[in-house]
Chains A and B, each alone.
Chain A
Amino acid sequence: MLYREAGQFRTTYAEDMAIFPIRQDRIALAILLGIAFIGVPLLADFDIWPFGSDYLLRAILLPFLILALAAIGVNILVGYCGQISLGSGAFMAIGAYSAYKLGTGVHIPLASLDFAISIPPLPVLLAILLGGLTAALAGILFGIPSLRIKGLYLAVATLAAQFFFDWVFLRVSWFTNYAPSGSVNAPTLDFFGLNVGTPIERYMLCLIFVTVFAVLAKNLVRGNLGRQWMAIRDMDIAAELIGIRPLYAKLTAFAVSSFIIGVAGALWAFVYLGSWEPLAFSIDRSLQLLFMVIIGGLGSIMGSFVGAAFILILPIMLNLIPTQLGVPLSTETITHLEFIIFGSLICYLLIKEPHGFARLISIGKEKLRLWPFPY
Chain B
Amino acid sequence: MVRNKLMLAAAILSGGAFASPAAAQNEQFIPILSYRTGAYAVNGVPYANGVADYYNLVNERDGGINGVKLLVEECETGYATDKGVECYERLKGKGPTGAAFINPLSTGITFALTEKTATDKIPIITMGYGRADSKNGAVFSYNFPLLGTYWSAADIAIQHVAKEVGGFDKLKGKKISLVYHDSPYGKEPIPMLQVLAQKHGFEFAPIPVTHPGVEQKSQWLAIRQNRPDYVLLWGWGVMNGTAVKEAAAVAYPRDRMIGVWWSGAEPDVTPAGDQATGYKALMLQHGAGKFPVHADLEKYVYAKGKGASEPGKVGEVLYNRGMTNAMLGVEAIRKAQEKFGKKPLTGEQVRWGLENLDLSDVRLKELGFEGMLKPIKISCSDHEGAREGRVQQWDGKGWKIISDWYTANLSNTEPLVDEISAKYAADKKIQPRDCSKES
Is A277's CB under 8 angstroms from B190's CB? no
Given contacts A272-B85, A335-B76, A336-B37, contact A321 B18 (CB under 8 A): no
Contact present for B89 and A335 (CB under 8 Å):
no
Task: Report B289 CB to chain A, min CB distance, Å.
Answer: 26
Q: Which residues of A contact B34 (CB under 8 A)?
A: 331
A44 sits at the interface (CB 8 A): no
1/0 contact string of A203-221 vs chain B (CB within 8 Å) = 0000000000000000000
A194 CB within 8 Å of chain B: no
Per the 8 Å Cβ criterion, residues 175-207 of B in contact with A are 182-185, 187-188, 190-191
Q: Which of B36, B93, B111, B115 contacts A335 (CB 8 A)?
A: B36
Q: Which residue of B lies closest to A173 (CB)?
A: B187
Most A CB contacts (10 A, CB to CB) among B13, B89, B208 go to B89
Looking at the complex, which one of A53, A182, A323, A324 makes contact with B187 (CB distance below 8 Å)? A182
**A183 contact set on B, CB distance < 8 A:** 107-108, 111, 184
- Whole-angstrom distance between the Cβ of B58 and the nearest chain A Cβ: 20
Interface string of B5-37 (1 = CB under 8 A from A): 000000011001111100000000000001011
Interchain nearest-CB distance for A321 vs B (Å): 5
- A205 CB, min distance to chain B CBs, angstroms: 17
CA distance in complex: A334, B35 (Å): 12
The listed residue (A181, A280, A335) touching B82 by CB distance below 8 A is: A280
B: number of interface residues (CB 8 Å): 51
In the bound complex, residues from chain A placing their C-beta under 8 Å from that of B86 are 59, 63, 316
Q: Tell me whether A279 and B211 are in contact (CB under 8 A).
A: yes
Q: Are B16 and A324 in contact (CB under 8 A)?
A: yes
Taking the complex as formed, is A18 at the interface, i.e. its CB lies under 8 A from any CB of chain B? no
B81 proximity list for chain A (CB < 8 A): 273, 276-277, 279-280
A50 touches B18 (CB 8 A): yes
Q: A53-B93, A332-B36 are in contact. Are A320 and B16 (CB under 8 A)?
A: yes
Asked, given contacts A279-B81, A317-B13, A331-B34, whether A56 binds B18 with beta carbons under 8 Å apart, the answer is: yes
Q: Is A188 an interface residue (CB 8 A)?
A: yes
A304 to B152: give the CA distance in the assembly, Å. 48
A323 CB contact (under 8 Å) in B13, B73, B183: B73
Tell yes or no: B163 within 8 A of A by CB.
Answer: no
Instruction: Give Cα A183–Cα B4 distance, bound, in whole angstroms.
Output: 49
Given the known inter-chain contacts A56-B18, A181-B187, A324-B16, please indicate yes or no for A275 contacting B115, CB distance below 8 A: yes
On whether the beta carbons of A170 and B90 are closer than 8 Å, the reply is: no
Q: Which one of B16, B37, B131 contacts A321 once the chains associate, using CB atoms below 8 Å?
A: B16
Task: Report whether A170 and B208 are in contact in the complex, using a CB–CB cutoff of 8 Å.
Answer: yes
| Minimum Cβ distance to chain B for residue A196 (Å) | 13
- Most A CB contacts (10 A, CB to CB) among B17, B45, B78, B424 go to B17
A373 at the interface (CB under 8 A from B): no
CB distance from B172 to the nearest CB of A (A): 25
User: CA A331 – CA B74 in complex, angstroms?
Assistant: 7
When C-beta atoms are compared, the residue in chain B nearest to A59 turns out to be B89
Whether A319 and B13, one on each chain, are in contact in the complex, defined by CB atoms closer than 8 angstroms, is no
A277 with B37: CB separation less than 8 A: no
Asked whether A180 lies within 8 Å of B108 as measured between CB atoms, the reply is: no
Which of B16, B85, B107 meets A325, CB within 8 Å? Answer: B16
Question: With an 8 A cutoff between CB atoms, is A11 at the interface?
Answer: no
Confirm or deny: B327 has a beta carbon within 8 angstroms of a beta carbon on chain A: no
Q: Of B73, B210, B420, B427, which contacts A180 at CB under 8 A?
A: B420
| Known contacts A63-B82, A274-B112, A279-B81; A188/B187 CB under 8 A | no
Interface centre among B34, B93, B108, B208 (most CB of A within 10 A): B108
Total of A-B residue pairs, C-beta within 8 Å: 117
Cβ of A246 within 8 Å of any chain B Cβ, yes or no, is no
- Inter-chain contact B36/A331, CB cutoff 8 Å: yes
Q: Which residues of B contact A321 (CB under 8 A)?
A: 12-13, 16-17
Asked if B103 is at the interface of the complex by the 8 Å CB criterion, the answer is: no
Tell me, yes or no, whether A54 is within 8 Å of chain B by CB.
yes
Within 8 A of A (CB), among B29-57: 34, 36-37, 41, 45
Task: Verify if B116 is at the interface (C-beta below 8 Å from A).
Answer: yes
Smallest CB–CB gap between B110 and chain A, Å?
9
For window 89-126 of B, CB contacts with A under 8 Å fall at 89-90, 92-93, 107-108, 111-112, 114-116, 119
Q: Are A185 and B76 in contact (CB under 8 A)?
A: no
Contact call A54/B76, Cβ cutoff below 8 A:
no
Question: What residues of A have a CB within 8 angstroms of the CB of B107 in the complex?
Answer: 181, 183
Contacts of B203-259 to chain A: CB distance below 8 A: 208, 210-211
Let me know if A274 and B116 touch, CB within 8 A: yes
**B163 CB to nearest chain A CB (Å):** 27
User: Is B437 interfacial (CB-CB < 8 Å)?
Assistant: no
A50 to B16, CA, bound (A): 11
Residues of A contacting B17 in the complex (Cβ-Cβ under 8 angstroms):
316-317, 320-321, 324
Most buried by B among A181, A183, A279, A325: A181
Tell me how far the C-beta of A87 lies from the nearest C-beta in chain B, rounded to whole angstroms. Answer: 17
Please give the distance in Å from B177's CB to the nearest CB on chain A: 17
With A180-B190, A276-B81, A277-B81 known to touch, is A334 a contact of B76 (CB < 8 Å)?
yes
Chain B residues with CB below 8 A from A282, complex form: 211
Which one of A55, A182, A197, A324 contacts B19 once the chains associate, using CB atoms below 8 Å? A324
Q: Is the pair A55, B78 in contact by a Cβ cutoff of 8 Å?
A: no
| Inter-chain contacts of A187 with B (CB < 8 A) | 427
Chain A residues contacting B183 (CB-CB under 8 Å) are 182, 277, 279
Contacts of A324 in B (CB 8 A): 16-17, 19
The digit string for A234-275, where 1 denotes a CB below 8 A from any CB of B, is: 000000000000000000000000000000000000001111
Are B93 and A54 in contact, with the CB atoms below 8 A? yes
Residues of A within 8 A of B74 (CB): 330-331
Indicate if B304 sits at the interface (CB-CB under 8 A). Answer: no
Check if A49 is an interface residue, CB within 8 A of chain B: yes
Chain B residues whose C-beta falls within 8 Å of the C-beta of A104 in the assembled complex = 427
A233 at interface by CB-CB < 8 Å: no
Q: 13 additional contacts, CB 8 Å, given A55-B89, A332-B41?
A: A59-B90, A170-B210, A180-B190, A180-B191, A181-B107, A181-B187, A182-B184, A277-B183, A317-B17, A331-B75, A332-B36, A335-B36, A335-B78
6 tightest CB-CB pairs across the interface, nearest first?
A332-B36, A59-B89, A50-B18, A324-B16, A181-B184, A183-B184
A contacts, CB < 8 Å to B: 49-50, 53-56, 58-59, 63, 104, 170, 180-183, 185, 187-188, 197, 272-277, 279-280, 282, 316-317, 319-321, 323-325, 330-332, 334-336
A-B CB contact pairs (8 Å), 13 listed = A49-B20, A54-B89, A55-B93, A183-B108, A185-B115, A188-B429, A274-B116, A275-B111, A279-B80, A279-B108, A279-B211, A323-B73, A332-B37
Interface residues of B (CB under 8 A from A): 12-13, 16-20, 34, 36-37, 41, 45, 73-76, 78, 80-82, 85-86, 89-90, 92-93, 107-108, 111-112, 114-116, 119, 131, 182-185, 187-188, 190-191, 208, 210-211, 420, 424, 427-429
